[in-house]
Structure 1
């Protein structure tokens, strides 16, 4: 009962060889796991083939892939993926009987009931989880989010494209940045600011607004300069980013009331945890008036993305395997 599971983002591709118990228990075992740079491969099929060549010793005919974006028709639609993703092309190229697709943060939602919930660092709110829904949100190459709603026998995960919502400025400085981004008005998605590339965009905008030439070229350089207090625009960019992130997640929290917790996933946020902790994130998350008391009951953690997306995709696939092929029969035949 072996199958491939992947978590394919705009920057990295996480791939694992999984084995599912055949007793209906849902127990999963990770037989092999690797992380690849998407930019190193001309196609997703080449990335997966590299994993198969390195790690797979017996034929595997089933695969589940969690990808940034949404499945529309016969392909995944997303501007942040390195290539077009089409299940029919993957099946033909890799000799697979089935390729199942789901959104990458939908997979993260299925990981909440696994090790993800126990792996985070507490950011704000209560330290224990309540009985309500949970949110998993992650600014990386883009901005993903999903909601896990408790249920019997399993939680239901709702996929979203929340990162494509319109950015809503809060401070006067945020309004200046928005005007710089869209001088003639128009649609500016949240992920233009609340993402890894978005942080660099904010830094560049702040420099331009103050008539200075930017000297930092990557999000990592911006966070490093902010941590060292070495560049005033880097410091301001991180402060604006953290505040905007808090406001965005507060808006989502008002929609879903996630007393089960908010999990901020990704190495990007983990690397700047101390900056996030000292920022205006919590104040913007709590908003104001009567809703403040409600949002104060929502715990927030920061967790590494790691293999959680792969694990969540595998959990989803095992639950839905009857809809995506006779996995047990294929496994027995192998």
Structure 2
């Protein structure tokens, strides 16, 4: 990794640990501008502290004052394992690797949620205009390696995240086809959570199930292969069917969580995965499926929905957290 030289100064370290990548950045205490942003592959390191040490070794003359790390998983525990990552994270070991500075931990989607409070109109794509009620809870949701969810509500002087594990709730099929898909995935996984479908790996699960149901050959093996085949000019039939169904199920699940949480403050979708097929998504059945809630259709149409275009939302949220402790 190329070594960068910056002026000797005390910095805060922020991180965002996902199922696939670990992202790190520095910021001057009290400021929000991120510097030295780097993305590392989790599989290249045995532990998070190894990845962190590798990152810091690429930057000379830096003293870390404190840190805030966002991570998937049950970050309220002293030792925890992210659901889609082989790392076991020991908070004491991480602090020790940083010479025992204070390390604050936050759920990765709590960080994503906090980051939405910094977005401008230029940072979003509107999916449904709706009519936001500013005193009501927001929902932040996004498929990636898993499916992240978090509530967000404004207090008198700051935003407060309401962390959740919505990606691990049960998948509830809404059609004969979805019932068949559930049967296939149940044989494979036992419990079928919504993130077995609404995630990068979930797209592949969905694609293979549709191939099996229709007696078609499995051609694609990765999420990027399926999505690319679906959105190209001469699209693959099964890939396109997969992505259409993905968007429809995503709408239904998001609508169910919206009803459960009463998120009339609006919904923010933060997902690199969805941004990879944004035009397809905007033309899909997502919104129709979201609003298809029977007697509560009128309630759903009032909920604003937008997609964040901004990169590094987890790092931005971690910076917000460390500046508002």
Provide the TM-score with structure 1 as the length reference.
Answer: 0.88
Q: State the alpha-carbon separation in 1 of the partners of residues 183 and 51 from structure 2.
A: 40
Q: State the alpha-carbon separation in 1 of the partners of residues 58 and 162 from structure 2.
A: 34
Aligned to 1:14: 23
Aligned to 2:107: 103
Instruction: Determine if the alignment matches structure 1 residue 294 to structure 2 residue 299.
Output: yes
Provide closer, same or farther for how the CA distance between residues 116 and 209 of structure 1 changes in structure 2, counting only shifts above 3 A: farther
1:263-294: CA deviation from partner (whole Å, max 9, x where unpaired): 11121100111111121111110023331111
Q: Which runs of 5+ in 1 are unaligned?
A: 22-26, 321-334
Aligned to 1:206: 210
Following superposition, the deviation at residue 184 of structure 1 comes to 9.5
1:84-138: CA deviation from partner (whole Å, max 9, x where unpaired): 1111111223323222211000111111211377512112243x74413211111
Provide closer, same or farther for how the CA distance between residues 56 and 62 of structure 1 changes in structure 2, counting only shifts above 3 A: farther
Q: State the alpha-carbon separation in 2 of the partners of residues 83 and 305 from structure 1.
A: 27
1:165-214: CA deviation from partner (whole Å, max 9, x where unpaired): 00011111111100111149952111000111000110011111122220
Provide closer, same or farther for how the CA distance between residues 220 and 57 of structure 1 changes in structure 2, counting only shifts above 3 A: same
Q: How many residues align?
A: 314
* Contact kept? 2:73, 2:107, Cα under 8 Å: yes
Provide closer, same or farther for how the CA distance between residues 56 and 316 of structure 1 changes in structure 2, counting only shifts above 3 A: farther
Aligned to 2:119: 115
Following superposition, the deviation at residue 54 of structure 1 comes to 1.7
Q: State the alpha-carbon separation in 2 of the partners of residues 194 and 285 from structure 1.
A: 14
Aligned to 1:163: 167
Provide the TM-score with structure 2 as the length reference.
Answer: 0.90
Following superposition, the deviation at residue 56 of structure 1 comes to 5.0
* Contact kept? 1:200, 1:218, Cα under 8 Å: yes
Instruction: Out of 56-65 and 234-243, give the one that drifted further.
Output: 56-65
* Contact kept? 1:142, 1:196, Cα under 8 Å: yes
Q: Which runs of 5+ in 2 are unaligned?
A: 1-9
Instruction: Write out aligned runs for 1:100-249 (5 A).
Output: 100-115=104-119, 118-126=122-130, 129-131=132-134, 132-183=136-187, 186-228=190-232, 229-249=234-254
Instruction: Determine if the alignment matches structure 1 residue 3 to structure 2 residue 12.
Output: yes
**Secondary structure at the counterpart of residue 290 of structure 1:** helix
Q: What is the alpha-carbon root mean square deviation over aligned residues? A: 2.0
* Contact kept? 1:179, 1:185, Cα under 8 Å: no
* Contact kept? 1:10, 1:81, Cα under 8 Å: yes
Aligned to 1:68: 72
1:267-326: CA deviation from partner (whole Å, max 9, x where unpaired): 110011111112111111002333111111111112246222111112112222xxxxxx
